[in-house]
């Protein structure tokens, strides 16, 4: 479900901001203790009130509240940029709008946190004059502006990199798991637009690209729910992969294909209005051992190598010949033959281009 992915991202953002705010609070308290210890500060009632506040631990409550609330605002802004018409604007406009929203959210959260602390009488800022003195202090704006900028950049960077490499792969890249080639057993789906050449000629380059963008946007909406990773986009084709060690990976890969088909059908009116037809996709699925390695230097990526991919691509190319939407290899068919909601049909031993030996191919349909 997409809501699970949204919940996961929200939790990450909120946790990151809470940890950041708590860390900043701890650092601030440490330096404040040093200042009170080594600098001769007159012990006026006002200064004593500040000292009592700094050693009381209430600052941690302040930091935690701010992290929770601003983290939620931060994620809401990120969600708007990813799931509304805002995503269609230029990068510069998106950054400008996000910055304005961050500043508005920061101001509102600051006001809410201060108001709560003021109500429970734990802040040393006890009147409007004290507040004016804080807000008129330029170090206040430098400190909070720097904090907002630094952590916004870091958290946005993590979210964008995670989105590029797929859920779970950022940690894998960070830990260097694929710095040296390793062997994994994986499922690959080659998902391609039917009659793509005819559609491209009919629509023209710009509108055809818009069609592909729209289709893959809907594909992305169901990827997380089916625990898939998008390996790459190649023109009008998407290559998805699952780790075979996941118990339900085979079943989920088939379900994703039919869920994607249903998703496109549910948007039929929009496709008819914008493009004059409802697109349909064909797919080939294969499973087996591949070599996984981190490749590139200027542009790094995780690459998969092996005959499993070549065979999967060849199987997908046979869809038009058999007039079927989903074809799979024999090995994959055997692993999924007991799934009741799908029906398998053996099409025969097929000679694939580039393969010396013929391959048994099966078609899969919903029951």
**Cα–Cα distance for residue pair 302/288, rounded to 1 Å:** 17
Q: Is 104 helix (H, G, I), strand (E, B) or coil?
A: helix
Quick one: what percent of the chain has pLDDT higher than 90?
33
Record the tokens describing residue 311, joined without a space.
């065979």
Angle at 161 between CA 159 and CA 166, to 5 degrees: 90
At 290 the pLDDT is 95
Residue 197 sits at φ, ψ, to 5 deg, of -65, -45
Residue 304's CB is within 10 A of a number of other CB atoms, namely 18
Q: Is 279 helix (H, G, I), strand (E, B) or coil?
A: coil
pLDDT at 128 > cutoff 60: no
Residue 43 sits at φ, ψ, to 5 deg, of -85, 65
Mean pLDDT of 25-47: 59
pLDDT at 362 > cutoff 70: yes
| Highest-pLDDT range among 125-134, 137-146, 170-179, 213-222 | 213-222
Pairing mode, strands 237-243 and 301-305: unpaired
- Write down the H helix ranges in 267-348: 268-275, 307-317, 319-322, 330-336
Longest dimension (CA), the chain: 92
Q: Among 363, 311, 312, which Cα is nearest to 337's?
A: 363
pLDDT at 132 > cutoff 60: no
What DSSP element (H or E) covers 260? Answer: helix 249-266
Residue 296 sits at φ, ψ, to 5 deg, of 90, 160
The residue among 33 and 110 whose pLDDT is bigger is 110
Mean pLDDT of 40-66: 64
Determine contact, residues 66/91, Cβ cutoff 8 Å.
Answer: no
| Highest-pLDDT range among 273-277, 335-339, 346-350, 357-361 | 273-277
- CA 250 to centroid of chain Cα atoms: 22
At 136 the pLDDT is 55
Q: With 0.75 as the threshold, say if the pTM is over it.
A: no
Domains of the chain: 2-165 (no CATH), 169-366 (3.30.70.1230)
pLDDT tens for each residue of 65-97:
888 998 899 889 888 887 777 777 776 787 788
Mean pLDDT of 191-200: 92
Cα(first)–Cα(last) distance of the chain, in Å?
Answer: 23
pLDDT at 131 > cutoff 60: no
pLDDT at 44 > cutoff 60: no
């Amino acid at each position: 479900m997409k809501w699970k992915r949204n919940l996961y991202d929200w939790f990450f953002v909120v946790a990151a901001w809470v940890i950041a705010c708590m860390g900043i609070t701890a650092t601030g308290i440490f330096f404040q203790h040093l200042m009170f210890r080594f600098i001769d500060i007159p012990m006026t009632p006002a200064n004593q009130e500040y000292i009592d506040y700094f050693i009381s631990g209430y600052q941690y409550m302040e930091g935690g509240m701010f992290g929770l609330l601003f983290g939620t605002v931060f994620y809401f802004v990120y969600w708007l940029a990813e799931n509304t018409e805002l995503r269609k604007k230029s990068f510069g406009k998106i950054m400008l709008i996000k910055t304005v929203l961050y500043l508005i959210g920061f101001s509102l959260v600051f006001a809410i946190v201060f108001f709560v602390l003021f109500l429970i009488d734990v802040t040393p800022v006890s009147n409007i004059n004290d507040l004016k003195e804080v807000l008129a202090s330029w170090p206040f704006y430098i400190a909070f502006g720097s904090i907002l900028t630094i952590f916004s950049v870091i958290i946005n960077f993590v979210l964008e990199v995670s989105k590029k490499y797929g859920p779970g792969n950022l940690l894998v890249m960070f830990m260097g798991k694929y710095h040296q080639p390793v062997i994994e057993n994986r499922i690959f789906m080659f998902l391609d637009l039917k009659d793509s050449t005819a559609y491209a000629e009919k629509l023209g380059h710009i509108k055809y690209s818009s069609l592909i963008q729209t289709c893959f946007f809907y594909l992305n909406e169901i990827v997380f729910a089916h625990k898939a990773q998008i390996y790459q986009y190649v023109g009008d084709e998407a290559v998805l992969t699952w780790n075979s060690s996941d118990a339900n990976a085979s079943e989920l890969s088939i379900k994703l294909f039919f869920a994607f088909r249903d998703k496109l059908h549910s948007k039929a009116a929009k496709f008819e209005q914008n493009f004059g037809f409802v697109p349909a996709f064909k797919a080939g699925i294969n499973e087996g051992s591949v070599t996984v390695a981190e490749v590139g230097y200027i542009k790094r990526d995780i690459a998969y190598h092996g005959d499993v991919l070549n065979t999967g691509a060849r199987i997908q190319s046979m869809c038009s010949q058999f007039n079927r939407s989903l074809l799979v290899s024999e090995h994959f068919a055997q692993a999924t033959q007991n799934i009741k909601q799908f029906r398998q049909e053996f099409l025969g031993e097929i000679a694939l281009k580039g393969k010396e030996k013929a391959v048994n191919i099966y078609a899969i349909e919903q029951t």
